[in-house]
Amino acid sequence: MQVGIGLPNAVPGATGRGLIEWARRADQAGFSSLGSIGAVSYPSYEELTVFAAAGAVTERIRFFTNVLIAPPRSAAELAKQAATVDQLTNGRLTLGLGVGWREADFLLTGRDFDGRGAAFDEMLPALYRSWSGEALDLAARPASPPPVQSPIPVMIGGTTQAAIRRIVDHGAGWTAGGLPPDAVSEFATKVRTAWQAAGRDGEPHITALVYFGLGDTEQQSRESVLDYYKPMGDDVAQMIAGSVLRSAEAIQGAMQAYEAAGANELIFAPTVSTGDQVDLLANIVFG
């Protein structure tokens, strides 16, 4: 199982220079991917913009939007943005995409919240068409430059039958978000079964995510998580804050549990933005 690290682009107190330094450290430490979370309605740094800049100070680490809420953007915009990042990073982008749960994201971008699932279904094939050089409207020219990867890998989030259908029809695999290992194992089995039934080659990639905060950072870490998940209600936000991994034993236990659950990659998402978190986690993961 590969091990990646999140980018603190949605952690309060993060700075632009700090994000770039974080990316450089993560690349040198040996993590497989640099992940992101984001929401239009939260004061986070826009993930694809940060990835474009981080590509200039890194050599090998992949960039993974985990997840980018797709329906508030148009297919033409997202295809162009993703292809640009893929070119600037020499083919190191993976798009993790989801429909989203924050209604404010859609209000702020003038999109229909209730119709987000249908919009996502229309967007997914349009992304591939745009990357192949096809115009998305008869009155327009092709909008996207060609990406390095043909096509850019797309991971789909969600735990519904619609998510399974999207994975099988359009995805390279499933991104499980912050689900516990037993839930990852159960849904991953459903994804693999549907994948095989559809005659897809190979196996779907499965990625999971957990939050971490190491050192004397518990209060800061909890406040960060509670602030981000406040719209889900206090009970849910408190539950997520309580699940943050804060010790070497917890980190190592999570790696073993998610590997046993069938994850191909585990992303440790930060709850503190200081760069020493990269080194602290690397010392645990890689020895």
Q: How many helices (H) and strands (E) does the chain have?
A: 11, 8
Residue 160 carries which DSSP code? S
Question: pLDDT, tens digit, for every residue of 171-183?
Answer: 999 999 999 999 9
Report the alpha-carbon distance of residue 51 to residue 48 in Å, rounded: 5
Tokens describing residue 33: 């991917």
Report the alpha-carbon distance of residue 239 to residue 178 in Å, rounded: 12
Radius of gyration of the chain (CA): 18
Q: Judge whether 40 and 8 are in contact, CB under 8 Å.
A: no
The pLDDT of residue 9 is above 90: yes
Q: Judge whether 123 and 63 are in contact, CB under 8 Å.
A: no
**Domain segments of the chain: what residues?**
2-286
Fold designation for 2-286: TIM Barrel (3.20.20)
Question: pLDDT, tens digit, for every residue of 35-54?
Answer: 999 999 999 999 999 999 99
Question: pLDDT, tens digit, for every residue of 175-217?
Answer: 999 999 999 999 999 999 999 999 999 999 999 999 999 999 9
CA neighbor of 38 nearest in space, from 71, 67, 62, 63: 67
Question: pLDDT, tens digit, for every residue of 112-145?
Answer: 999 999 999 999 999 999 999 999 998 889 989 9
Taking the CA of residue 39 as centre, how many other CA atoms within 13 Å lie in the half-sphere pointing to its CB? Answer: 19
